[in-house]
Amino acid sequence: MSLTDRPATDLLRDLSARKISSVELVKAYAERIRRFDGQIKAFLHLDIDAALAKAREIDARRAAGQPMGKLGGLPVAIKDVLCTQGIRTTCASKILENFVPPYDATVVRKLKEADAVIIGKTNMDEFAMGGSTENSAYFKTTNPWDTSRVPGGSSGGAAACLAAGMAPLSIGTDTGGSIRQPAAFCGVTGLKPTYGRVSRYGLVAFASSLDQIGPLGHTAEDCALLLETIAGHDPRDSTSADLPVPQYTASLSQPLQGLKLGLVREHFGPGLDSEIEAAVREAVKDYQSLGATVKELSMPHSKYGIATYYIIAPSEASSNLARYDGVHYGYRTDEKAMLDELAAKQKQLESAQDAKKLAQLDTPLIRLYRKTRAEGFGPEVKRRIMLGTYTLSAGYYDAYYLKALKVRRLIRQDYDKAFEEVDFVVGPTTPSPAFKLGEKTDDPLAMYLEDLYTVTLNLAGLGGISVPCGFTKSGLPIGLQLQCRPFDEERLLQAAAMYQRATDWHTKRPSL
């Protein structure tokens, strides 16, 4: 197995034993990036020289016997929605094309303190809105298993760079499935932590009550390593939980006794690809052969998940994205052209003596806002800003936003009930495997339905993981999703690791 195909924890053992150096690792991944990123386009930003310099420094410290952080020189790719001090952070949006944060996100700071080597910033759907990474304002990322297909999204670059062997660890974010769905599409493991497990400070907000940062890796163990590095209470994030962080890697090899799994009836209804259903049912059998019992249960409100999500998330997004107005930072429309245009329009209306339209003509400030936002945001972001502005408007708030909050509570109650009977809810991560580039770009609703099995978890604020559980006949990866009780990531990872010890789907790599 080549260096770049190996799980991160495996590489870390060799780093610690000084069998390999961090510089060697960075060079190996840089070589993969050089060869394949032209095709995959996973990275929005790369600075191999800076990564090498950091790797050299870490190697020197290790050689000198100095204390070493938990990640000890492992390269990590970061989704371009986390602020990195001094490194452009765009959220794959034109409106932040020139934004260089003066500070690090808490997760980035923790990675640096753990001696990670930041190898680059990965592509995504603009402001994490989308399920295919086709909404990036810069370029589309492809799926390493079939480059005519999407890698999923919004953390498409994060999953694709792992699958393509261009990084051993990757940080993603999940608002409605944005870690789990690309992990499933790209045949890697991705974990969405319980809301509050990881600080959101420095994560550019899409939907604040749903966003959560999480790890992607080849194995549950990789995710455990990365999660224990980034998790924990942060005084800068009032919504982060003040709970101790278990050492996930330490307990990972303990098999779970008497495991009870719940199969949600509603997750096996119309719309589910038959190959995916077969693979998931096979995975459930694997668990049974490992001693698990399986119970079928119902989550009656899950059918409202998409509708609820597409009210709450755009509402929050419309507010969170109000700050991108061209005044303080980021993209601003060409002011001179804007003022000239406004003056011409005014002249035209004056000569036409159209007093009514003259009175309605934008002030320069309003026109600056309008043009900046019209030019700076892509269509999907605009669509969601409009949706959210509508649902929060006076007269509609109660019917949409308030109602959605009530349904959200009912969805959480469905989970609470389920977890009275089972330890984990298992099912498919996605209804279908990776689709063709462009296949759904003209049909937003079809794209939204990609989140069918993932959004309810965000609405309930719980944790979940997607692990590879097979392939379609055409060779596309399939993901198995496990969902857990609040802050039960330790056992979630144990359950995933147990499955990965018994299967080898997670060891498969695409040939590029």
Which residues participate in catalysis according to the annotation? 79, 154, 178
Least CB distance to another protein at residue 303 (A):
24
Question: Quick check: 119 binds another protein (CB under 8 A)?
Answer: no
Region from 58-66, 231-239, 286-294, 442-450 binding another protein, contact rule CB under 8 A: 231-239
Q: How far apart are CA 225 and CA 76, in angstroms?
A: 12
Least CB distance to another protein at residue 316 (A):
6
Beta-carbon contacts of residue 166 (< 8 Å; ≥ 6 apart): 4, 29, 32, 33, 36, 37, 40, 42, 43, 77, 119
Q: How far apart are CA 246 and CA 343, in angstroms?
A: 63
Check: CB of residue 247 under 8 Å from CB of residue 36: no
Which residues face 75 on adjacent strands?
117
Question: Quick check: 239 binds another protein (CB under 8 A)?
Answer: yes
Question: Quick check: 139 binds another protein (CB under 8 A)?
Answer: no
Question: Quick check: 329 binds another protein (CB under 8 A)?
Answer: yes
Q: How far apart are CA 11 and CA 5, in angstroms?
A: 10
Region from 62-70, 71-79, 96-104, 182-190 binding another protein, contact rule CB under 8 A: 96-104
Region from 67-75, 130-138, 311-319, 350-358 binding another protein, contact rule CB under 8 A: 311-319
Q: How far apart are CA 283 and CA 257, in angstroms?
A: 17
Question: Quick check: 99 binds another protein (CB under 8 A)?
Answer: yes
Site residues (CB under 8 A) for another protein, limited to 440-469 = none
Question: Quick check: 394 binds another protein (CB under 8 A)?
Answer: yes
Question: Quick check: 346 binds another protein (CB under 8 A)?
Answer: no
Task: Give the residue, chosen from 278, 339, 355, 361, that forms a contact with another protein under the rule CB under 8 A.
Answer: 339
Q: Is the C-alpha dihedral spanning 206, 207, 211, 217 positive or negative?
A: negative
Q: How many residues bind another protein (CB under 8 A)?
A: 45
Q: How far apart are CA 499 and CA 106, in angstroms?
A: 32
- Parallel, antiparallel, or unpaired: how do β-strands 463-471 and 477-484 relate? antiparallel
Identify the residue whose tokens are 């660890």: 169
Least CB distance to another protein at residue 349 (A):
16
Task: Give the residue, chosen from 101, 165, 427, 470, that forms a contact with another protein under the rule CB under 8 A.
Answer: 101
Region from 49-57, 175-183, 202-210, 484-492 binding another protein, contact rule CB under 8 A: 202-210
Sheet holding 477-484, edge to edge: 43-46, 117-122, 75-79, 169-174, 212-217, 189-192, 463-471, 477-484, 424-428, 260-264, 293-297
Least CB distance to another protein at residue 215 (A):
19
In the shown chain, the binding pattern of residues 40 to 79 toward another protein, with x for contact by CB under 8 A and - for none, equals ----------------------------------------
Identify the residue whose tokens are 């330890």: 423
Which helix (H) or strand (E) segment is 214 a member of?
A: strand 212-217
* DSSP category for residue 93: -
Question: Quick check: 204 binds another protein (CB under 8 A)?
Answer: yes
Task: Give the residue, chosen from 18, 303, 323, 406, that forms a contact with another protein under the rule CB under 8 A.
Answer: 323
Question: Quick check: 309 binds another protein (CB under 8 A)?
Answer: no
Question: Quick check: 401 binds another protein (CB under 8 A)?
Answer: yes
Beta-carbon contacts of residue 17 (< 8 Å; ≥ 6 apart): none
Task: Give the residue, chosen from 298, 397, 417, 443, that forms a contact with another protein under the rule CB under 8 A.
Answer: 397
Least CB distance to another protein at residue 392 (A):
4
User: Cβ closer to another protein: 83 or 164?
Assistant: 83
Question: Quick check: 128 binds another protein (CB under 8 A)?
Answer: no
Question: Quick check: 212 binds another protein (CB under 8 A)?
Answer: no
For every residue of 236-293, which 3-state class applies, written as one string?
CCCCCCCCCCCCHHHHCCCCCCCCEEEEEHHHHCCCCCHHHHHHHHHHHHHHHHCCCE
Nearest residue to 414 via CA among 464, 457, 451: 457
For every residue of 455-481, which 3-state class applies, written as one string?
HHHHHHCCEEEEEEEEECCCCCEEEEE
User: Cβ closer to another protein: 290 or 392?
Assistant: 392
Question: Quick check: 102 binds another protein (CB under 8 A)?
Answer: yes
Task: Give the residue, chosen from 25, 205, 225, 426, that forms a contact with another protein under the rule CB under 8 A.
Answer: 205
Half-sphere exposure of 420 (CA within 13 A, CB side): 8
Question: Quick check: 328 binds another protein (CB under 8 A)?
Answer: yes
Question: Quick check: 87 binds another protein (CB under 8 A)?
Answer: no
Task: Give the residue, chosen from 97, 208, 233, 346, that forms a contact with another protein under the rule CB under 8 A.
Answer: 208
Q: Where does 118-271 have alpha helices with state H?
A: 156-163, 180-186, 220-230, 248-251
Q: How far apart are CA 182 and CA 414, in angstroms?
A: 26
User: Cβ closer to another protein: 343 or 502?
Assistant: 343
For 225, counting Cβ atoms within 10 Å of its Cβ (0-12 exposed, 13-18 middle, 19+ buried), the class is buried
Question: Quick check: 374 binds another protein (CB under 8 A)?
Answer: no
Task: Give the residue, chosen from 228, 325, 423, 490, that forms a contact with another protein under the rule CB under 8 A.
Answer: 325
Q: Which residues bind another protein (CB under 8 A)?
A: 82-83, 89, 91, 96, 99, 101-103, 105, 200-205, 207-209, 235-239, 315-316, 318-319, 322-323, 325, 327-329, 339, 363-365, 369, 389, 392-394, 397, 401
